[in-house]
Chain A
Amino acid sequence: MRRIFLPLLAIVVLGGVVLSCGDDDEGPVKLGFLAGLSGDYSEWGPPSQDGAEAAIGVINDNGGILGRDAELVVQDNLSTPEGAVTGYNRIREEIDALGGVESDGAVALLGTVAEDEMPTMCPACGTTVLDTEGGNYIWRITASDTTYGIISAQLARDAGYGRVNMLVQQTEGTESPANVFKDVWENKIGGQIGEDVRFNPGLDSYQAQVEQAFSGDPDAVYIGAGPQAGIPILREYIARGYTAAILVSPDLQVPDIAEVASELPTGRILAAQVTDDFGSPAYAEFAAAHQEYAGKPPPTGFYETNQFDQYIVLALAMTAAESTDGPDVAAQIYSIVNAPGTKVYTYADGVAALERGEQIDYDGPSGSIELHTSTGNLVSPKVAVNHIVNGSYTEREVIELDASLGR
C-alpha cells in the first residue's frame, strides 16, 4: 500500500506545483492598490480607487498586459503606517506590483518593497523622505512635500506677509511640508514665525490649539492637518471670528473643508495643489475611462490622475520588459517615462510603439512623468493655486516654483 501511496502523493504534489506555476503565468497580472480607504485619508479613498479602476479598465480594453488581464487587488491601509505594513503583508505574495501608496505607508514600506523587489508607485505621497530615498523600487509620480512647503512660503512672500504662525498635526504627511515651509520661510525668505503649535490628531476639540495659533496677531497661519482635525479647526476659526489668512497643506484641499470654509471671503484661504494636464489627449482618455468605469466624470484634487498614471506606467514597463518580475519591471520604468522616445499619451499607443521596437516617453493625464533617475521623483510637478469659491476649491492659476527658494 505504501509503495503505491507515496508515488501517488508525490505526483499529486508535483502536479499541484506545476499547475500553480502555470496559473501564475497565465492568470491575471495582479496590481496592488494599498491606500487609506478608512481613517484620515478616507476622503481620498473612493476617488483614488476610481482612478485606479479606470486604468485597469483601459489596460484590459487594450489587450491587457502581455496578453493577460490586469486585476486590481484592493487593500485598505487604515491611513496608518501600521495598517500599511499589515495590508502589504496580506497581499505581497499575490501581487506583481504595488500602487496607491501614501506618505505614511511609503515610509513604512520603503525597505520592505526593496527587499521584495516589488515595483511600487507613490501617486499621492509627498513625504520628504522620498526626496532622497526612492528610485530603485519605489517611484513618486506626484509633487514632494518639499515642493508644497516651498510653494506655501512663496505664496506667503508674494502676499506680503511678515509674521506667520503655525498649527500642525503631528503626522508624517502633515509635518513634512510644514517643516519645509518653516525652513524656507525663515531661512530663505527671512519671514518671522510666531507661534508654532503642534498637536496630535483624534481630539474632541482643538480650541486651545487654535487660540494659541492665532495669538499675537499674525498675518497668516499655516495649517497642516488632515480633514478630521481640519474641520473642527476651521469651525473654531470661523466661530471665534479670527481674520488672519490661512495657508493650508495639501491634505486640507478636499470638498469637506471647502464646504466648511464656504462662508469665508474668497482668498482668505491660500492653497497650492498639484494639477492635471486637462488639455492633453491623455486626460481625454482618462476622463472617458473614468466615466465608463466609475460612472461619473472625474473629480479634481484627489490624485485621481496620478492613480491612473501609476498603473499605465507599470503596465507599459511590464510590456517593455516582456515580464512581470520585479527587477525586470523596475529596470524599464525610466525608459518608459523619460525622454528620449516617442511621445505617447495613451496605453494603446505606448504598447503599439513598444511592439514596433521603439523607446517611448509616456505623459499621462497628470502631466509630465519625467523622473529623476537618481531619486525616482518628478522633475517638474505642475502646481496650481486654488481658492475656495462657492464652497469648492477652484483653480486660479498654475504657478512656477521660484528656483531661488529651492533647498
Chain B
Amino acid sequence: MAELSLQIVIEHDSKFQLQVDTSIPANQITAIYGPSGSGKTTLLHSIAGLKRGQGNSRVRHGDSTWQEGDYFLPAWQRAVGVVFQDARLFPHLDVRGNLLYGAKRRGSSGLTLDKVSQWLELEPLLKRSSQELSGGQRQRVAIGRALLSGAELLLMDEPLSGLDKKAAKRIINHLKLLHRETGITVLYVSHNIEEVAQLADQVLLLQDGQIEAQGPLLDLCTRLDTSLSREPQAGAILLGTVSNHLKDFDLTTIDVEGQTLHVGQVAAKPGTGYRLHIPARDVSVCRQRPVATSILNILPVKLADIQASGENRVLLKLQLQNQHILARITRKSLTDLELKQGDELYAQVKTVALLGDSGSHS
C-alpha cells in the first residue's frame, strides 16, 4: 500500500480555505481533527477527487499521480472509498445492491460481500430496502459499500455524527476490526476527541485550513503546545497490557510501563494490549507517595514540562518511562509545591477511561 502525498491550495474570496503540504502514511488510521470550518471536509473531498485543488496543487498516491498541474483524475477513477456524514445510500437499491455498487464498477480487490457483511454484521439486512434502516445500520452499509469498491484508501467524513452512543461504539469496534483485517489506509475526519482517541494511530490537526500539527496520536496528545491540549477532554493516551482480573472486586489490572493500573473489569484475556485515556483534570500530583488513600492508581513520574492553561490553571507533562501523562492543576498549587522541571513526583489518577482493545497481543 502506498503513501499519500498532498500539496493542496484552495482559495475562496481571497481567503485560504485549505493550504496543506504533507504526506499521510500508509496502512494507518490518520484522524483529521479540527473545529468546524477548519477545512476538514474540503481536504477530504480534494483527496477523493470531488473537489479540485487550485494553482500548483498536487495529489499523489504511491506511484499514481491524481492531480498535478492541469492533470486531474476524477473521483470515479481514483481508488478511494468515501463514507459521508449522511450515509447517502441509494434509495432505489436494497442493502445488497448498495454494497455491490462500487464493486461492479471498480472490482472489490479481493474482498467479498460475504466477508464484509460478516465483519459489519449486515447479513440479516441484505434484502432490506435502504430506507428501512436505522442511522447506525445505514452507516455500516455505507462503510461496507466504500470498502467493497476496490478502495485502497478509505475516507470517512464524521461518520458517527448523529448516532447514539451505543451505535457509535458498535461502529468503532467494527472499524477497528476492519482495519485489523485489511490494513487499509484510513483518513478519519472528526471533531470528536473521544472517537479520535479510540481509533487513530496518527493525528493531523487542522486549524483555519492549515496544518497546526501532525504526528502519532500518543505524542500529539501529550504535547502542550497544540489546540488539543486546550480541550476540556485533553489528556494522555497510554498503551498497556491486561495482566490480571480481580474477580472479587470486578476490577482488572493493566500493566503500563511496569506500573499497575486498576480499571473496571474488561472481557479481555491477560496479555491483550489496551488503550487507556487519562483526562488531565482527573490527575493530581504530590511530592510524597500518598498512604491510606482511596485512590488505587498512583504512578511515579518525573515532571517534564509546564504550560499555562487558562486563567488559573497549568498543564503538567509527566513522564512515565517511555510514555507520558498530563495533569491539570491550579497555579497556586504549582507555586505552593514549588514544582519545577525534573522533579520526581507521584501522580494520582482518579479516572482511567478504557478506550478498548489496542489490537496488539503479547
| A, B: real partners | no
Using a CB–CB cutoff of 8 Å, the interface residues on chain A facing chain B are none
Using a CB–CB cutoff of 8 Å, the interface residues on chain B facing chain A are none
